Amino acid sequence: MISIKNLHFSYGKKKVFDGLELQLEPGHIYGLLGKNGTGKSTLLKNIAGLLYPKKGLIEVDGFHPSKRSTAFLQQIFMIPEEFYISDISLEKLVKYHASFYPSFDNTLFEKYINEFEIPAANTIHQMSYGQKKKVLIGFCLACNTKVILMDEPTNGLDIISKSQFRKVIAGAIDESKSIIISTHQVKDLESLIDRVIVIDEGQILFDQTVDAITSKLSFKISFDSDEVRNVLYSESSIRGTAIVTKNEDNDESKLDLELLYKAIVTNRQKIQNIFNA
């Protein structure tokens, strides 16, 4: 659905992407991870057609984002990290904006508003930042676009709201949609995403499904000093030493996104060798 080939992009003289390649398919929730300033937001904006590549090709469901055609814009929705919504009621939000999206489902929007416990009688500016973000997330999902891009969507959400977010996103995905979530708050996505993409210095360092990751790597707490000396990554915790190691015994372990990210950044070549073997 999303094909990125030989992508080059710069902000003036500052190079962000230099030949980036990426293929994204429908039916998945992607976690786009990386340090601040490594190109996560820039990549999402290039996919959305908000920024234009210096060189290379981006295709989204057959469309070229930079052309910003109506048919393309009706099938993509991006929630930026920073956003602004006019001070209107939810009823007027739907009245003024929903008609642009052919598949908008008002019943679904009302369902999300109820699940997020949004005070529907309030106007947008009478809501907290977290409530505004949940309104935008609910509206986005109700538009039923094929591509959904989210940049740090859990920023500003409390613990309960993050749980609600994971629930509605998991329920929104189907075989026709791609959801790409950029975040540095990796714990918020741990049980949600099914494919992990790590970007660093404008390059894709890692791109694997969660199933592939847990079959190749093991995440656990160790009390064995010999085992700890020969791991891909380790860090001390109150319970013992948290480690990432090659899964040589076909163990079943739960993915720890934070440990995985640190292992990739600090031990990139060994991680790549394991997945290329």
Contacts of 145 (CB under 8 A, 6+ apart): 74, 75, 76, 77, 101, 103, 177
pLDDT of residue 277: 77
Give the mean model confidence (pLDDT) for residues 147-165.
93
Amino acid at 146: K
CA distance 196 to 8: 22
pLDDT tens profile 239-274: 889 999 999 888 888 899 999 999 999 999 999 999
Contacts of 121 (CB under 8 A, 6+ apart): none
Is a pLDDT exceeding 90 seen at residue 202?
no
CA distance 179 to 28: 6
Token pair of 1, please?
A: 């659905």
If pLDDT is split at 50, 70 and 90, which confidence band does 190 have?
A: confident
Tell me the pLDDT of the chain averaged across its residues: 93
Nearest by Cα to 273 from 110, 264, 177: 264
If pLDDT is split at 50, 70 and 90, which confidence band does 151 have?
A: very high
CA distance 274 to 272: 5
pLDDT of residue 252: 83
CA distance 234 to 166: 28
Token pair of 219, please?
A: 């995440």
pLDDT tens profile 59-118: 999 999 999 999 999 999 999 999 999 999 999 999 999 999 999 999 999 999 999 999
Is a pLDDT exceeding 90 seen at residue 226?
no
For the chain, the C-alpha Rg in angstroms (whole number) is: 20
Secondary structure element (H or E) that encloses residue 68, with its range: none
If pLDDT is split at 50, 70 and 90, which confidence band does 147 have?
A: very high
pLDDT of residue 64: 96
User: 17 with 7: CB under 8 angstroms?
Assistant: yes
Give the mean model confidence (pLDDT) for residues 171-189.
91
Is a pLDDT exceeding 90 seen at residue 184?
no
Give the mean model confidence (pLDDT) for residues 168-173.
94
Which domains are assigned to the chain?
2-86+142-201 (3.40.50.300), 210-276 (no CATH)
pTM metric for this prediction: 0.93
